[in-house]
């Protein structure tokens, strides 16, 4: 195992979730000082020693600024941010959505990404750190799925926000890139993804033949957070088993 993150400080939001926790583990395995953040359970539940945990609500700007200040107090600076904090799932048919449905997804997913990335970027500029920012989009940043308008809008917004950051922050030596997960098996959807009809759907519609894992996404995030990957910015890395590479998965002919 390489230790390319030895001496590097990486802030991971959404660290209590499947992808966030896997990212923390992957970073620690490569020598990073990981600062984990989430709204809920502490980092000790990740099963990793020596991880600093700081509570924060990403939709609350003052909470995010306090998180970044606390991270600076612990480590002096932040070399990279991997922002995975988000909510997902269907919200209902478009014509039946309430303004609260809309606001909930946009506040946490899109505004939360803005709050966290801007606060970290300001910290990087202030400390003279040529850092890396990794956002968590989705294949739904490129195409919609039924009854998920607020979610797909939030992910589409993250996609272009990441590109805007890449352009604006390049003069400071800060890179911004996005990971776009497809169907990913994480602890909270274990029962759902075990349903035979869903397993069959993935086998038919995903070129790789199955859903991916949180570790698949974590490896992509760690790749984009690599301090040596300096000239890659504004990029999108799909972790979807080839889902977006095909137009339509037609049923296989019998015989």
Residues identified as active-site? 151
Say how far residue 146 (Cα) sits from the centre of its chain.
22
User: If you ran DSSP here, which 8-state letter would residue 146 be given?
Assistant: T
Identify the three-state secondary structure at position 197: helix
CB 132 within 8 A of CB 175: yes
C-alpha–C-alpha distance, residues 27 and 9, integer Å: 10
Please list, residue by residue across 196-208, b when 16 or more beta carbons sit within 10 angstroms of its beta carbon and e when fewer do: eeeeeebeeebee
CB 83 within 8 A of CB 113: yes
C-alpha–C-alpha distance, residues 167 and 181, integer Å: 23
H or E element that contains 133: strand 132-136
Of the CA atoms within 13 Å of residue 110, those in its CB half-sphere come to 19
User: If you ran DSSP here, which 8-state letter would residue 229 be given?
Assistant: -
CB 179 within 8 A of CB 217: yes
Identify the three-state secondary structure at position 36: strand
């Amino acid at each position: 195992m390489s230790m390319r993150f030895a001496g590097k400080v990486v802030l991971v939001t959404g660290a209590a979730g499947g992808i966030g926790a896997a990212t923390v583990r992957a970073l620690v395995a490569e020598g990073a000082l990981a600062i984990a953040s989430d709204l809920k359970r502490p980092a000790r539940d990740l099963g990793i020693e020596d991880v600093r945990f700081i509570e924060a609500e990403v939709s609350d700007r003052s909470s995010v600024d306090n998180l970044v200040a606390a991270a600076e107090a612990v480590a002096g600076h932040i070399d990279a941010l991997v922002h995975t904090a988000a909510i997902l799932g269907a919200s209902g048919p478009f014509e039946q959505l309430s303004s609260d449905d809309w606001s909930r997804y946009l506040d946490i997913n899109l505004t939360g990404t803005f709050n966290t990335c801007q606060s970290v970027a300001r910290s990087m500029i202030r400390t003279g750190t040529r850092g890396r920012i990794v956002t968590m989009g989705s294949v739904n940043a490129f195409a919609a799925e039924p009854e998920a308008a607020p979610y797909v809008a939030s992910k589409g917004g993250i996609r272009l926000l990441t590109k805007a950051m890449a352009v604006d922050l390049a003069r400071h030596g800060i890179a911004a890139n996005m990971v776009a997960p497809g169907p990913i098996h994480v602890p909270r959807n274990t029962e759902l993804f075990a349903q035979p009809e869903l397993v069959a759907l993935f086998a038919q519609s995903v070129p790789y033949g199955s859903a991916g894992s949180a570790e698949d996404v974590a490896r992509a995030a760690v790749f984009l957070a690599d301090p040596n990957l300096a000239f890659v910015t504004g990029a999108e890395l799909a972790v979807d088993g080839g889902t977006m590479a095909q137009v339509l998965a037609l049923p296989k002919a019998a015989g």
